[in-house]
Structure 1
Amino acid sequence: MHIRVLVAAVTGTSIGISALAAAPVETSLRPQVRPGTMSAEAVVVSIDLPVRSLRPVARPSAAAATGGEAKVIQVATSNPAFDRWIAAFRGRALNAGISSRTFDRAFRGVQYIPDVIKKDRNQAEFKRQIWDYLDSATSPPRVDGGKKGLRRHNRTLRRIEEHYGVEKEVVTAIWGLESYYGTRKGDTPLIGALATLSFDGRRGAFFEKQLIAALRIIQSGDVAPANMTGSWAGAMGHTQFIPTSYLAYAVDFTGDGKRDIWSDDPTDALASTAAYLKRFGWRRGMPWGVEVRVPRGVNPGSAKRMPSDWAARGVVGIDGKPVRDFGSARILQPAGPNGASFMVFANFDVIKRYNNADAYAIGVGHLSDRIAGGPEIQASWPRGYEPLTFEGRMEVQRLLKRRGYQLEKIDGIIGPNSAKAIRHFQQSVGVKPDGYASKEVLNLLRTR
């Protein structure tokens, strides 16, 4: 529901994403785009936008336009240019309806955060194949965590499902991909991160809009500045809303007068996610998609047909039976005809409104199925190497760390840091540095 700044789409079999692992929010399984920030065709927006400075310049008339309130406030940032930007931005914020009291509270102690810019610059470097992404999205710990979260919050999730008509497993799956069930919400100060990104200018207009929205959230009383934390890119809470999406879709489901998506209680965040999906047309009882078999020689293209029409062309469920007529559907083959095929329905596109990437929508959908007790994807993927089990991937990470490679976590998730370490190891032993956690890599780590 929310959006992150980058969209990653499945292109062929490769997903260009800033970070698709599920480590801290900075490397969450969101292929980096939040609802409402771009069209369905947009891909890796941060690269497509011109890299020109959008850094605002203070105008002599700013103070007059705000009745003299656009004074320079003192913030100890040790960055004079950033200080000047804040002073100029203050006038724009006040013109946008932010009170001087709110602005000064929010910016008290704000610092320029170099690490935010570093992460922003490195977003597009890591590419993952669809199967690697789904290995992480539906890893055994994530599936188990989803089942536990569903049991722990079953009463709340049932109420949310009844109210919004969005299945509790789907809401739980989004929670799992966005923040690993609330354990990785991000602890970066949002105002500082958004101010840093606005000042930087590469996508300054977008981030300044988010910063104004964040100030409106503070002004509404929903959260105190000190508690407004999240990812480096401005996504907040259990289900990682960006500020503009929060303002448009967040709900107070607990009835305490606040739309609190940050606290340990995930109720408002989960309900807000369901509200968002409902807003964009979620249909209760319709699957996101169904794994199917597509006969050789059948080229489904982008056609939409009823499942019974697909069945007449030989496209059936993985069990060999025709899929029920839930509604018009198209066939998605994210790795081409040699990988898994899915018959996807309108709800698949609703999930993409939350994050505009096929990989993400498949991840949410399949994780929700697994949380509900469904099977793994049955078809094989054209990996080109022998994959490892979850335990095998953890062993690869342990052995890499033992050799001195810098890995933050031993979690079985092959994100950008793990892939980089594998590539360096492969180079050191003279094999192709593809970065894949394969059985060959594990054997080399055990024996070299």
Structure 2
Amino acid sequence: MVFTRRFMIAGLAGAALAGCSTGRTGSSSAPTGGRTYQTVGNAGYDTWIASFRQRAAAQGISGATLDAAFRSAGYMPMVIERDRNQTEFTRTLEDYLAIAASDERVSKGRAALSRHRSTLNAIEARYGVPANVVTAVWGLESFYGERRGDVPVISAISTLAYDGRRGSFFESQLIAALKILQNGDIPASRMTGSWAGAMGHTQFIPTSYLAYAVDFTGDGRRDIWSDDPTDALASTAAYLSRSGWVRSQPWGGEVGSAAANSGTPLRVLQPQPGGPRFAVFRNFDVIKRYNNSDSYAIGVGHLADRIAGGGPLQGSFGPDARGMTIDDRKALQQRLTARGFDTGGADGVIGPNTESAIRDYQRSRGLPETGEPSLELLRQLG
């Protein structure tokens, strides 16, 4: 995994983040995703910040910037908990696309493209990245701005820098974040994002922000946090453009589609055995500069195609290891929910909510509580 844009964590991209010797007895908190990111007193952290101030000053960070940044910042135990307990898992491409290009994400993407059409057209004219592609990145990164993250970034990344597991990386992000504050792009109170420091509508880490963010509105600030997504969308296009985006060339497409037949592809991929095959062009690899994952790049490309009016993939992924197709899994979720065992949706992706619903159903029937889907369970639910 590379960290050219932002610190990547497990999951879909997918969802965010008194003086330096604080001596603080109170605390502040930010609720995100049902969790509370609260600052607490920590003498070791305070000592580390005092030492860090000297290193920051040597890199041109003013005392006034440091004072403002750390006035309300502090050590966040929940950030360390999240960092220590990232679940390592693999998701099939079928499951990934069921989330990345869900009906809801497609419909919201089409509405977002329509709502911001003039802005996105102007961005496309300047940077050459199609409006639907920029919109798709926005959709995957923050659900079109609905999930930007509200964790104070200075607290989050200073906690991770102090922790030391990836101290060098996060200290570089902290220096970059302070430069952003010193440049006047955003005050510390509004610099929020994910627990790992990814910020704004399209989730830039601080170093990538310094390298690629643009002031498209012309107001003198590169504001990727604002409810107005203009600067964030333009910054994403600028990133892709500077990464080598080829104008008027598709990212690729399912083998047999018009896009896949529009030229000579770099290669053909079949990420899931037995599933659809994709012919990909240079722009596929440019998308991977944003997130170094084949599934992510296919997700952005396919979502972009759907937002532009394209239809679902034509190829089938076939049954899973349990012999269930995605339609079987959707039917299972629908039947469980109808029986009062809420799965939280019926997208055909078996996750913790569905597993919990299955266990609850099994418990109610005196069955072994495996939490595992099966064709037999589907038949039982009728």
| Short-chain TM bin | 0.7 to 0.9
1:322/1:205 CA distance change after superposition, 3 Å: closer
CA distance in 2, matches of 1:133, 1:169: 19
Map 1:299-378 to 2 at 5 A. Answer: 317-318=256-257, 323-325=261-263, 327-336=264-273, 338-378=274-314
RMSD: 3.0
Farther-moved stretch of structure 1 (425-434 vs 142-151): 425-434
CA contact (8 A) 2:265 2:281 kept: yes
1:101/1:161 CA distance change after superposition, 3 Å: same
Q: Structure 1 residue 418 and structure 2 residue 353: aligned? A: yes
Q: 1:110 Cα shift?
A: 1.3
Residue in structure 1 matched with residue 29 of structure 2 by the alignment: none
CA contact (8 A) 1:73 1:87 kept: no
Instruction: For structure 1, list consecutive stretches of 5 or more residues without a partner in the other structure.
Output: 7-16, 27-69, 293-316
CA contact (8 A) 2:213 2:232 kept: yes
Residue in structure 1 matched with residue 326 of structure 2 by the alignment: 387
1:223/1:18 CA distance change after superposition, 3 Å: same
- Per the alignment, in what secondary structure is the counterpart of residue 241 of structure 1? coil
CA distance in 2, matches of 1:352, 1:268: 21
Q: 1:127 Cα shift?
A: 2.9
Q: 1:422 Cα shift?
A: 5.5
CA distance in 2, matches of 1:118, 1:415: 25
Q: Structure 1 residue 243 and structure 2 residue 179: aligned? A: no
Residue in structure 2 matched with residue 47 of structure 1 by the alignment: none
One-letter identity of the residue aligned with 2:285: D
TM-score, normalization: structure 1? 0.73
Q: 1:185 Cα shift?
A: 0.3
Question: Greater relative contact order: 1 or 2 (C-alpha under 8 angstroms, separation 6 or more)?
Answer: 1
Map 1:191-210 to 2 at 5 A. Answer: 191-210=154-173
Q: 1:198 Cα shift?
A: 1.0
Q: 1:412 Cα shift?
A: 4.6
1:427/1:329 CA distance change after superposition, 3 Å: farther
CA contact (8 A) 2:23 2:41 kept: no
CA contact (8 A) 1:21 1:136 kept: no
Q: 1:353 Cα shift?
A: 0.2
CA distance in 1, matches of 2:348, 2:149: 18
1:418/1:18 CA distance change after superposition, 3 Å: farther
1:376-405 deviation per Cα after TM superposition (whole angstroms, max 9, x unaligned): 1111114421214897587478469x55x8
Paired-residue identity, %: 52
CA distance in 2, matches of 1:255, 1:415: 46
1:171/1:442 CA distance change after superposition, 3 Å: farther
Residue in structure 1 matched with residue 35 of structure 2 by the alignment: none
Q: 1:418 Cα shift?
A: 2.5
Map 1:154-233 to 2 at 5 A. Answer: 154-233=117-196
Residue in structure 1 matched with residue 10 of structure 2 by the alignment: 18
CA distance in 2, matches of 1:230, 1:322: 37
CA distance in 2, matches of 1:423, 1:97: 56
- Per the alignment, in what secondary structure is the counterpart of residue 133 of structure 1? helix
Residue in structure 2 matched with residue 265 of structure 1 by the alignment: 228
CA distance in 2, matches of 1:356, 1:371: 22
CA distance in 2, matches of 1:110, 1:125: 30
- Per the alignment, in what secondary structure is the counterpart of residue 214 of structure 2? coil
CA contact (8 A) 2:265 2:279 kept: no
- Per the alignment, in what secondary structure is the counterpart of residue 125 of structure 1? coil
- Per the alignment, in what secondary structure is the counterpart of residue 204 of structure 2? coil
CA distance in 1, matches of 2:20, 2:369: 61
CA contact (8 A) 1:426 1:432 kept: no
CA distance in 2, matches of 1:264, 1:425: 40
One-letter identity of the residue aligned with 2:305: D
Q: 1:291 Cα shift?
A: 0.8
Q: 1:140 Cα shift?
A: 0.3
CA distance in 2, matches of 1:275, 1:250: 7
1:287/1:71 CA distance change after superposition, 3 Å: closer
1:252-290 deviation per Cα after TM superposition (whole angstroms, max 9, x unaligned): 000000000001000000000000100011112211112
Of residues 260, 283, 297, the one that matches 2:246 is 283
Instruction: For structure 2, list consecutive stretches of 5 or more residues without a partner in the other structure.
Output: 26-39
Q: How many pairs were matched up?
A: 359
1:171-203 deviation per Cα after TM superposition (whole angstroms, max 9, x unaligned): 000000000000000011101110111111111
CA contact (8 A) 2:254 2:260 kept: no
Residue in structure 1 matched with residue 5 of structure 2 by the alignment: 3
CA contact (8 A) 1:137 1:367 kept: yes
Residue in structure 2 matched with residue 297 of structure 1 by the alignment: none
CA distance in 2, matches of 1:318, 1:237: 34
1:341/1:322 CA distance change after superposition, 3 Å: closer
